[in-house]
């Protein structure tokens, strides 16, 4: 099927041009003014933006957390992604005790096959300090096309510094990238015990248990380890001004460190933990929400280029039945995570572009172009001839109020409830196939489970 999108504002990271975009089957064939062709379908995008599909490189689909599993599987999670203008997701296979890295990638791959409605890939996680897992890094890069690895510096699945060094060394050698959840585990353990000894386990103490210094120290240490090995490094879900300062300093001295932040760290603050009753549970995430000063430092970090990616850390647990499963009065017992894959683009546009915090080109850079470059998605991330036709026709004036009942994520609340959004997707294409469209007062999923393909990646 050939599609001609006429008269839209074609937005790439570098520039925006008013032009037509021609899709032939699954690829972008041409971007030019006044294209005339016998397309099967012509779309008038006058007054609309035409954006590359966004890439979310940080989702936790069907993630097992003890006795519970995140609510979105590949079917619901990728349908929600499509409705939000996200046309590629990168998820984290986490090896269970005794499981090999490659078996774990296979296991997660099977969950996605026949279910995913948009394209996907994986960042295998090194979930313990194990030489067997480290040995498999080369094969994951070479044989599987999954060259990016997640390491936790906190939680029970954390890796020690020696493991981090060894994985950094391997990724530097074979062409890969280590992504770190950077929080100092000992600081968190110390603070959590201290708070518990003082009887301060109410939900409002969650941020105190994971202070900014825990993140700053871990970011700083991870950078030093990367520097020692000459490897690149990617910091996930950056939340603080002080950790950002460490990244800025490292980049200034030539370290290849990338940083990602998320809408929750740009738009919400720790005041949410002061809400009444069990409401704060909706915001129990790690790292925790920080201050307004951190929010604005992160926006500035995006503007300055020190933060290259906005992702979601999509990790949905129901408010009723999951967040409250182990009790309502103790922050240590609440599963950590917020849903977000569907609201990434709308929030970045409405709160970022419309409110003048970032330009439209910058939004495309952090949602599409940079994640495609950093994670080796060579066919994605820009509206250029030869790239996959992952395209969002976006209505910049369309209004929408966030409410989980009008969204497609399989979760019973939304942390941005009541946010008034300006600008929503109109049509969303994944490799030339319409997967979501605006209908009435909300997005409608019109794609097919199984359309999404695993994308092999390589990093130079």
**Contact residues for ligand DUC (CB under 6 A)?**
60, 181, 285-286, 313, 315, 336-337
Shortest distance (Å) from residue 286 CB to ligand DUC:
4
Shortest distance (Å) from residue 203 CB to ligand DUC:
14
Shortest distance (Å) from residue 54 CB to ligand DUC:
20
Shortest distance (Å) from residue 376 CB to ligand DUC:
23
> Given CA atoms 387, 389, 395, 400 in this order, what sign does their dihedral have?
negative
Which of ligand DUC, Zn ion, none does residue 70 bind to, with CB < 5 to 8 Å depending on kind? Answer: none
**Which is closer to Zn ion, CB of 70 or CB of 169?**
70
Which of Zn ion, ligand DUC, none does residue 337 bind to, with CB < 5 to 8 Å depending on kind? Answer: ligand DUC
Q: Which residues in this chain contact Zn ion in the complex, by CB under 5 A?
A: 181, 313
Shortest distance (Å) from residue 52 CB to ligand DUC:
27
**Which is closer to Zn ion, CB of 239 or CB of 350?**
239
Which of Zn ion, ligand DUC, none does residue 115 bind to, with CB < 5 to 8 Å depending on kind? Answer: none
**Which is closer to Zn ion, CB of 215 or CB of 379?**
215
Shortest distance (Å) from residue 460 CB to ligand DUC:
28
Shortest distance (Å) from residue 89 CB to ligand DUC:
15
Strand 420-430 with 433-439, pairing: antiparallel
**Which is closer to Zn ion, CB of 72 or CB of 313?**
313
**Which is closer to ligand DUC, CB of 323 or CB of 453?**
323
CA pair distance 398, 383, nearest whole angstrom:
23
- Name the residue number minimizing CB distance to ligand DUC: 285
CA pair distance 393, 52, nearest whole angstrom:
9
**Which is closer to Zn ion, CB of 313 or CB of 318?**
313
Which of ligand DUC, Zn ion, none does residue 453 bind to, with CB < 5 to 8 Å depending on kind? Answer: none
Shortest distance (Å) from residue 214 CB to ligand DUC:
13
Whether the CB-CB separation of 415 and 264 falls below 8 Å is answered with yes
Which of ligand DUC, Zn ion, none does residue 285 bind to, with CB < 5 to 8 Å depending on kind? Answer: ligand DUC
**Which is closer to Zn ion, CB of 157 or CB of 255?**
157
Distance of CA 233 to the CA centre of its chain: 16
**Which is closer to ligand DUC, CB of 112 or CB of 285?**
285
């Amino acid at each position: 099927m050939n599609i001609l999108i006429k008269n839209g504002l074609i937005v790439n990271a570098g520039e925006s041009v008013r032009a037509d975009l021609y899709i032939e089957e699954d690829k972008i064939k041409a971007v030019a003014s006044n294209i005339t062709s016998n397309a099967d379908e012509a779309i008038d995008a006058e007054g609309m933006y035409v954006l590359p599909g966004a890439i979310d490189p940080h989702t936790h689909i069907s993630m097992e957390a003890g006795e519970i599993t995140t609510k979105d599987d590949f079917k619901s999670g990728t349908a929600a992604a499509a409705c939000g203008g996200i046309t590629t997701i990168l998820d984290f296979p986490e090896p269970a005790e005794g499981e090999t890295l490659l078996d774990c990638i296979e296991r997660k791959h099977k969950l996605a096959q026949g279910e995913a409605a948009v394209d996907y890939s994986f960042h295998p996680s090194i979930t313990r300090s194990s030489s067997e897992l480290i040995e498999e890094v080369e094969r994951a890069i070479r044989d599987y096309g999954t060259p990016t690895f997640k390491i936790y510096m906190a939680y029970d699945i954390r890796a020690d510094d020696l493991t981090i060094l060894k994985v950094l060394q391997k990724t530097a050698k074979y062409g890969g990238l280590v992504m770190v959840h950077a929080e100092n585990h000992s600081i968190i353990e110390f603070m959590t015990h201290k708070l518990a000894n003082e009887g301060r386990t109410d939900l409002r103490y969650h941020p105190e248990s994971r202070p900014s210094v825990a993140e700053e120290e871990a970011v700083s240490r991870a950078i030093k380890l990367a520097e020692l090995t000459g490897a690149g490094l990617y910091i996930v879900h950056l939340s603080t001004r002080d950790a950002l300062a460490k990244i800025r300093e490292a980049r200034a001295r030539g370290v290849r460190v990338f940083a990602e932040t998320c809408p929750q760290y740009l738009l919400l603050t720790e005041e949410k933990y002061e809400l009444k009753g069990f409401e704060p549970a909706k915001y129990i995430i790690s790292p925790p929400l920080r201050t307004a000063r951190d929010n604005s430092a992160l926006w500035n970090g995006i503007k300055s280029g020190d933060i290259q990616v906005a992702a979601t850390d999509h990790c949905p647990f129901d408010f009723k039945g999951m967040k409250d499963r182990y009790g309502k009065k103790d922050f240590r017992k609440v599963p950590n995570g917020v849903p977000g894959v569907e609201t990434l683009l709308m929030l970045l546009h409405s709160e970022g572009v419309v409110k003048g915090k970032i330009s439209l080109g910058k939004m495309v850079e952090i949602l599409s172009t940079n994640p495609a470059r950093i994670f080796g998605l060579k066919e994605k991330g820009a509206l250029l001839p030869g790239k996959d036709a992952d395209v969002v026709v976006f209505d910049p004036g369309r209004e929408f109020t966030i409410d989980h009942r009008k969204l497609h994520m399989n979760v019973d609340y939304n942390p941005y409830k009541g946010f008034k959004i300006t600008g929503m997707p109109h049509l969303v294409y994944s490799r030339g196939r319409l997967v979501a469209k605006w209908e009435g007062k909300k997005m409608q999923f019109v794609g097919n489970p199984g359309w999404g393909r695993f994308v092999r990646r390589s990093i130079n």
